[in-house]
Amino acid sequence: MHPAFAVGLVFAGCCSNVIFLELLARYYAVMVTMFFTVSVVNNYALNLNIAMPLHMIFRSGSLIASMILGIIILKKRYSVFKYTSIALVSVGIFICTFMSAKQVTSQPSMSENDGFQAFAWWLLGIGALTFALLMSARMGIFQETLYKQFGKHSKEALFYNHALPLPGFLFLASDIYEHAVLFSKSELYQVPVIGVTVPIMWFYLLMNVITQYVCIRGVFILTTECTSLTVTLVVTLRKFVSLIFSILYFQNPFTLWHWLGTLFVFTGTLMYTEVWNHLGATKSPPPKEDKEN
């Protein structure tokens, strides 16, 4: 066989392969980038004096970000009732954020300089959560556009969103290695049933990965099989249960003001989904859908 023919096969085959690969993954590359960014920023915010309850409540404000970007990008228009529900969510998040800020700056064991430094890191954490919230809402709009154009394929989206970002963690290799060393130094724990003894932090990480897969798998199935109302209700209830568990089991500080803010957030979320109207749909017709230009 002439070498020129082999060279032609290499260029024709490999170049066309790359072209088709790019056509296959072009849209997912954008969504994967956003997914990776949101995941890393949300997790890193926990290192910036953000308590877990505030982290969960703040992320419950996704409706606010979705509405803002929906108005800007999709030119949507909403009813006064929905604007009111979003205002209620905003007030709830503000109350919880304000009270958490007071907790950060009023710790008796801190000097004035340490208190100011802790508050500055906390503000950076709030900024990171805000950025991740807006980016997550933008990703949701982009994902909705993809589903309309190519159909809903939950397993495919689950694979691409989690497999393609893996090389990005090379940029975090030093931080990952540092925590791996700390994990290996944690106390030993005998895993039930199988009887294997491992550092307890590695066991926690393994369980976190397994349960995260179950959670994400369920969410992706919900987005393809159920209405957006059902997805919102399920996710909202899940966040509320997680919040209660975090407060009671881990004894995270939570004042009466925090409870009031939480009530506003979840009430506003349920108002936005118009759940009461849908529950009574058999008695009266549902309200009109949001108008779009």
pLDDT tens digits along 251-289: 877 888 889 988 998 888 888 877 666 655 544 444 444
Please state, rounded to an integer, the average pLDDT across all residues of the chain: 81
* Residue 203 scores a pLDDT above 90: yes
- Cβ 232 vs Cβ 273: under 8 Å: yes
Q: Given this model, what pLDDT does residue 255 score? A: 85
* Residue 180 scores a pLDDT above 90: yes
Highest mean pLDDT among 7-11, 158-162, 222-226: 158-162
* Residue 182 scores a pLDDT above 90: yes
Q: How confident is the model at residue 124 (pLDDT cuts 50, 70, 90)?
A: very high
CB atoms within 10 A of CB 196: 10
Q: What is the mean pLDDT of residues 97-121?
A: 79
Q: Do β-strands 76-77 and 291-292 pair in parallel, antiparallel, or remain unpaired?
A: antiparallel
Q: Could you tell me the two tokens for 140?
A: 């949701």
Q: What is the mean pLDDT of residues 102-129?
A: 82
- Angle made by CA atoms 62, 67, 143, in degrees to the nearest 5: 70
* Residue 292 scores a pLDDT above 50: no
- Cβ 87 vs Cβ 161: under 8 Å: no
Q: Given this model, what pLDDT does residue 209 score? A: 92
* Residue 40 scores a pLDDT above 90: yes
Cα 90 from Cα 65, distance rounded (Å): 10
Q: Given this model, what pLDDT does residue 17 score? A: 61
Q: Given this model, what pLDDT does residue 204 score? A: 94
Q: What is the DSSP letter of 47?
A: G
Highest mean pLDDT among 26-35, 173-182, 235-244: 173-182
Q: Given this model, what pLDDT does residue 200 score? A: 94
CB atoms within 10 A of CB 192: 7
pLDDT digits 0-9 by tens, 4-15: 666 666 667 666
Q: What is the rounded end-to-end Cα distance, in angstroms, of the chain?
A: 62
Cα 246 from Cα 56, distance rounded (Å): 10
**Comparison of pLDDT for 103 and 15, the residue scoring more:** 103
Range from 15-24, 55-64, 75-84 carrying the lowest mean pLDDT: 15-24
Q: What are the strands, taking DSSP E only, across the chain?
A: 76-77, 188-190, 197-199, 291-292
Q: Is 278 exposed, middle or buried (0-12, 13-18, 19+ CB in 10 A)?
A: middle
Q: What is the mean pLDDT of residues 24-28?
A: 69
